[in-house]
Amino acid sequence: MKLGLFSITMGANIHPEPLAEAAKAAEDAEFDSLWAGEHVVLPDPRVAPSPMEPDDPALDPLVGLTWAAAHTTRILLATGIIILPQRNPVVLAKQLASLDVLSHGRLVFGVGVGYLEPEFRAIGANFAERGAVTDEYLDAIAHLWYEDRPAYHGRFVEFAGVDAHPRPQQQPVPLVIGGHSPGAYRRAVARAHGWFGFALDRDRTAACLEGLRRAATEVERPSGFGELEITVAPRGPITSERIDAYAELGVHRLVAVPGFHADRDEMLATIERTHAARTGR
């Protein structure tokens, strides 16, 4: 079972020293990845389904992961997730490629379609068609990263006669789709190297995996992509029993979630406990 660490850009980790310390501690404990989510703005007052209070701090994931990259050498740097339809895909392609180059090819590009209408409204993004926007943006980014002469002509993004360098060091960059909807399952099977489920217990994980299996009968998986890597951030602490239980379902990676307000001690204790659960120490 691979291990990841969430909240790398939240809680105490909005400050440079704790973020660097947590990133190095996770790498030393043989975690394979750091995961950074995002909300650009949050509804004030908080309204469902917002997961956070409006004054809960969170760094931009790309800035935070770049800082983590500067203090580590091996651990993967995952956006878990970027709300893709809220971003400009051409600018984002440059930012992500820059992170991949500066980290010597450690980027994992995790995306989702989003679900907070007030956040979309504040940014001026297209909430009603966010699924279609996400698909076009993924196509546009792929053209910028992998085509000799990038060009794209869609409903929501269009460019030609341009180029962007540096290209990502990884060819291709691992793509992970987050989400618990049929659309997310189909998008993961058809387009991605992995799928990410957040705050799931074992039963909910099993239901999501069944959704992914159904999606595999509805859309074609590209040749050469191999098995879909399953990453889950479970509710509650990761124990050796839970590692075994999720492994039985076919999960490849569990991501520890210290909490949105974790201080330095809680963050480091979570890393230590999770490492011990996997090693049996």
Per-residue pLDDT in tens (0 to 9) along the chain, 281 residues: 999 999 999 999 999 999 999 999 999 999 999 999 999 999 999 988 888 999 999 999 999 999 999 999 999 999 999 999 999 999 999 999 999 999 999 999 999 999 999 999 999 999 999 999 999 999 999 999 999 999 999 999 999 999 999 999 999 999 999 999 999 999 999 999 999 999 999 999 999 999 999 999 999 999 889 999 999 999 899 999 999 999 999 999 999 999 889 999 999 999 999 999 999 86
The pLDDT score that the predictor gives to residue 191 is 97
CATH number of domain containing 98: 3.20.20.30
What's the pTM value of the predicted model, to 2 decimals?
A: 0.97
Domain total of the chain: 1
Between the two ends of the chain, the Cα-to-Cα distance in Å is 16
Which residue range is the domain that position 181 belongs to? 2-279
The pLDDT score that the predictor gives to residue 185 is 98
- In angstroms and rounded to an integer, the radius of gyration of the C-alpha atoms of the chain is 18
The pLDDT score that the predictor gives to residue 48 is 85
